[in-house]
Amino acid sequence: MKVKLLDIAHGRSGDKGDAANIGIIAYNMNGYEIIKKHLTADKVKKHFEGICFGEVERYELPNLMALNFVLHNTLGGGGTVSLKHDAQGKTLAAALLRMELEV
Amino acid sequence: MKEKIRIASGQGFWGDLVDAPFYQVTSGPIDYLVMDYLAEVTMSILQKQKNKNPNLGYAKDIPDLMRKILPITKEKNIKIITNGGGVNPEACADAVLKVAKEIGLANLKVAVVLGDNIIDKIDELISSGYYLNNMETSEPITKIRDKLLSANVYFGAFPIVEALKLGAEIVITGRTTDTGLTLAPMIYEFNWDKTDYDLLAAGTVAGHILECGGQASGGNLLADWKSVENLAEIGFPIAEAYPNGDVIITKHENLGGKVSFETVAEQLVYEIGDPMKYITPDCIADFTSIKLEEIAPNKVKVFNVKGKPETEFYKVSCSYFDGYSAVGTLTYSWPEALTKAKAADEILRKRLEKLNLKFDEIRTEFVGYNSCHGPLSVKIDEEKINEIMLRVAVRSHDYNAVERFGKEIAPLILTGPPSVTGFAGGRPKPNEVVAYWPALIPKKLVEPKVKLITT
């Protein structure tokens, strides 16, 4: 079965230097179990092919039903240097919610 | 000891809603107003302003804001804490005291926190063997020494606590952590100790929730943003803090916005790395220990926060000059808007190439098509696209190259694809690029100083 991330989670993204951080929060524990199992760092890295050029770190926050991803080498040199329209990665959480998970 | 204190967030960055602090002090009871003005890039902008005029270098909105709110905060005994002193907290305090005098406020006690600005000590540090290696690349600061614009240490809550102990009604700091502004009054009011790590972490978490202003009370909410009532009059978040470290995040009832599990959770995950190690000068907070509970409408209890001892280092935020950039835009309309914008980009690039200019990077984005999500953007049937904005940005250490790029955009209107508009703003001008250099410095090498000034 395919699950659209947008239907089971929300989140927020921002910048840490040239890395973007994306926090993804499930709406309930059922959703958290799904993202915990299926939303791997590898899948996120592949999803952001052409945007994220570094490693992707994944952290679990079960207390918030959330995962935090740090996407290195993603913002074109960091907020003040980057030529990107979205230089601080503010829309990347929404971009991740485009993903569909096979569960 | 007070049974609880209410700390209100008044600004999330320099440029935030100008009147938010006014609504925070007038719409209901609060004890403290905390205002975060500083982003990494803000420090270098302020340093540039100070270089031109030694009386500047702080958030210039502050004197006008004080004119409006000081009579109220004085009457209600609300204390104000802000890092808007930027690179010149003393000049900021002088400006505030001048305003107090003008409006006839006597005996106003303003404290400044100094010592975070280490730009004048860099050479001494380098010769002592402290190279302020870049935390991301490990390179020594000698690499960019001659281009350095600012260097500021992030202080924590304790210098502010000292200021409050001296009786300050307003505390103006330079580069203090955003979280320290909120943690400080809790330490002061509840007599928390430097080793009460769980409590310090609880206050730090509250500070993280408050530091981005309305972003914790319904602003920029990805979860069901349409459910947030009256964003036009959004109430900024308020932390109701208790001596045991419990905090209730709320807002003034008569203002708009929303405080819920979702709004607080989104702010908690904002700009964090390893959630088990949220490092500040005061403690290391563990975000995986935090518990959230909606206890009433617009009331979220934050509790069970665990903390660990602080590190031996301060973070230093340096900025340096790194060339020039410019951004040019043109708008192409239906039919074939995207095809035309792509063609214009190719023509522009050919012309730039022929000029043999040196650019570090040229970046093209099509706003309305792929500028936010890049290659993830869905392909759209071009017949359905009404218009596309071509956005081309360049970066170079050669000023002339960037300036010439600015001169090559407008000619596309008469010498490129048709149905093009959107050039009212004139030629794009080269902007100085300020790059960021994060480093660590042993705490023993830096000493915060607190100074109390009274009218």
Q: What angle do CA B289, B24, B181 make, to 5 degrees?
A: 45
Residue in B closest to A83 by C-alpha: B393
Helices (H) and strands (E) in chain B, counts: 12, 19
> What's the rounded Cα separation, in Å, for the pair B302 and B295?
10
State yes or no: pLDDT of B319 exceeds 80.
yes
The pLDDT, as a whole number, for residue A79 is 85
Residue window 15-54, chain A: list those with CB within 8 Å of chain B: 15-18, 21, 23-25, 27, 47-51
State yes or no: pLDDT of B41 exceeds 80.
no
The pLDDT, as a whole number, for residue B234 is 98
Task: List the beta bridge partners of residue B244.
Answer: none
For B160-217, give the DSSP string: HHHHHHTT-SEEEESSB-HHHHHHHHHHHHHT--TT-HHHHHHHHHHHHHHTTGGGGT
> Which two three-digit tokens encode residue B174?
């330079």
Cβ contacts of A83 on chain B, cutoff 8 Å? 325, 327, 361, 363, 393-395
The answer to whether A23 contacts B327, with C-beta atoms less than 8 Å apart, is no
Q: For chain B, say whether A59 makes contact (Cβ under 8 Å).
A: yes
Per-residue pLDDT of chain A (103 residues; tens, 9 = 90+): 999 999 999 999 999 999 999 999 999 999 999 999 999 999 999 999 999 999 999 999 999 999 999 999 999 998 889 999 999 999 999 999 999 999 9
Cβ contacts of B435 on chain A, cutoff 8 Å? 77-78, 80-81
The pLDDT, as a whole number, for residue B331 is 98
The answer to whether A14 contacts B271, with C-beta atoms less than 8 Å apart, is yes
Residue in B closest to A10 by C-alpha: B223
Cβ contacts of B367 on chain A, cutoff 8 Å? 85
Q: For chain A, say whether B138 makes contact (Cβ under 8 Å).
A: no
> What's the rounded Cα separation, in Å, for the pair B215 and B236?
8
- Summarised one tens digit per residue, pLDDT across range B174-202 is 999 999 999 999 999 999 999 999 999 99
Residue in A closest to B360 by C-alpha: A83
pTM above 0.95, yes or no: yes
State yes or no: pLDDT of B301 exceeds 80.
yes
State yes or no: pLDDT of B424 exceeds 90.
no
